Amino acid sequence: MLSVYEGFFSGGARIVHSDVLLGLVEGGQQWHRVLSLHGEVHRESTTQRMEDDACYRALTAGGVEVTSLGRTAGLVDGTVAASVFSGPELADTARAMAGADVILSLKEQPLALLNQAGLPRRPVVVCLHRSDPENQGQALDELKAAIADGTVVACVCCAESTRDAYEAAGIPGELLHVIPNGVDLLRFRPDAALRLAFRESLGIPATAPDAPVVVFAARYAGMKNVPLFLRAARAWLAREGGGHVVMCGAGMTEDNPALWADIEVAFGADRAALGDRVHLLGVRHDMETVYAGSDVVALTSASGEAAPLCLIEGMMCGAVPVTTDVGDSASIVEGHGFVTPFDPDAIAFAWSAAVADRELFAPALAASRERFSRTRMIAAYADLLDHVVGDVRDELRPGVSGQ
């Protein structure tokens, strides 16, 4: 199997897909490698080199070969990589494809490459991780072209909202298979020692009633609705005298002038009084520690989300999820947390309610762990890919195609 990535940069889709590949390789029945279009990406005010990425390091440490076409790009939400490729790039792609039975495209953007004429013809499975196909630039057209050509044989949707949105956009329903996101339950779990260590690292008292913590794990992008989160944070911090807000992800750093501008607008005159309880941590590779140290995991996204990984990871570590109604978020947190309108005061009150009811939600969170299991997710991927490979081999068997 060959997976094609647009690049290695911070985001839930790459985390999920890379974890799936590692799980499939661990099973010993499939061989996987990865080809990345870009070796370096500039986005969310952050330069992200492939070799520095946690997913790249995990894949290579797990025995998955990762190569790149070496491109450098400044990507913006809703755009695709340039659709013009050089001879050497196409030759490298052809060599990578030649040894694969099936190609996996992480999201639809790599189809700009895979749709190029002259490449080996292989069945493609596209892994879809958003719920707004119309906002993906030319990527939806590339997907439709690959389906019309017979190249795309299946699409994996990480959420029901993804399937519904792509079917509404004209993708045949029989190609759309829902495999919900899952996480490593051994890694993401309540941990008192990690909780204490995280809070001590930021100078936050260990006890939640005196110092509740809300974590916002997202890259700095328009769809994440950072200004709404900050307005809610201002209202909540003003009411919760010992509360702290943690922001982590690409662009969530002091080096991002756009984020600072958002903070100034949201906090206004309260910036000096409340700002020391806002912690900008940037990209973290120990999210299990961050979530274990938090009481609430917040999401304020306006669009695009499907099955947000932050909600699942946070819940499994014991943080109560509070989210806007986007993608499958409402169904994910049902019985485990709160769904809010796009109103900062309503969100702030929901955070306080989540802190107050954290112990009451604990049994429901514990009972739902199997539903969000990485093992369940990987088994579903393995089953789908085995069927695709089986169909390919049947077509190659003499006499089968004519039956």
Residue range 57-85: average pLDDT?
78
Residue carrying the six token digits 């809703």:
78
Phi/psi region, residue 249 (left: phi>0; alpha: psi -120 to 50; beta: rest), is: left
- The predicted pLDDT at position 397 comes to 57
Residue range 345-357: average pLDDT?
97
206: which DSSP letter? S
Lowest mean pLDDT among 263-277, 318-332, 367-381, 388-402: 388-402
- The predicted pLDDT at position 106 comes to 97
pTM above 0.85, yes or no: yes
Give buried/exposed letters for 382-403 (b at 16+ CB in 10 A, else e).
beebeebeeeeeeeeeeeeeee
Nearest to 309 by CA among 187, 206, 197: 187
Q: Which two tokens stand for residue 305?
A: 């989300």
Phi and psi torsions of 69, nearest 5°: -75, -10
Chain mean pLDDT for the chain: 92
pLDDT in tens, 196-208: 999 999 999 876 6
Q: What would the DSSP string read from start to end of 257-326?
A: HHHHHHHHHHHGGGHHHHGGGEEEEES-S-HHHHHHT-SEEEE---S--SS-HHHHHHHHTTPEEEEES-
pLDDT band at 402 (very low <50, low <70, confident <90, very high): very low
Lowest mean pLDDT among 23-32, 318-327, 377-386: 23-32
Residue range 287-304: average pLDDT?
97
72: pLDDT strictly greater than 90: no
- The predicted pLDDT at position 252 comes to 96
Phi/psi region, residue 137 (left: phi>0; alpha: psi -120 to 50; beta: rest), is: left
pLDDT in tens, 21-70: 999 999 787 899 999 999 998 888 788 899 999 999 999 999 999 999 99
- The predicted pLDDT at position 399 comes to 57
- The predicted pLDDT at position 401 comes to 46
- The predicted pLDDT at position 398 comes to 58
- The predicted pLDDT at position 28 comes to 80
Q: How far is CA 352 from the centre of its chain?
A: 26
Are 250 and 43 contacting, i.e. CB atoms less than 8 angstroms apart? yes
- The predicted pLDDT at position 80 comes to 39
Q: Cα–Cα distance between 314 and 214 in angstroms, integer?
A: 11
Angle at 256 (CA atoms; ends 255, 260), nearest 5 degrees: 105
Residue range 63-84: average pLDDT?
73
Nearest to 107 by CA among 17, 40, 34, 182: 17
- The predicted pLDDT at position 403 comes to 38
Residue range 369-379: average pLDDT?
96
Are 232 and 226 contacting, i.e. CB atoms less than 8 angstroms apart? no
pLDDT in tens, 211-242: 999 999 999 999 999 999 999 999 999 999 99
Please enumerate, as own/partner, the contacts of 262-271 that have beta carbons within 8 Å and a separation of 24 or more: 262/226, 262/227, 262/230, 263/230, 265/227, 265/230, 266/227, 266/230, 266/231, 266/233, 266/234, 267/230, 267/234, 268/234, 270/234, 270/238
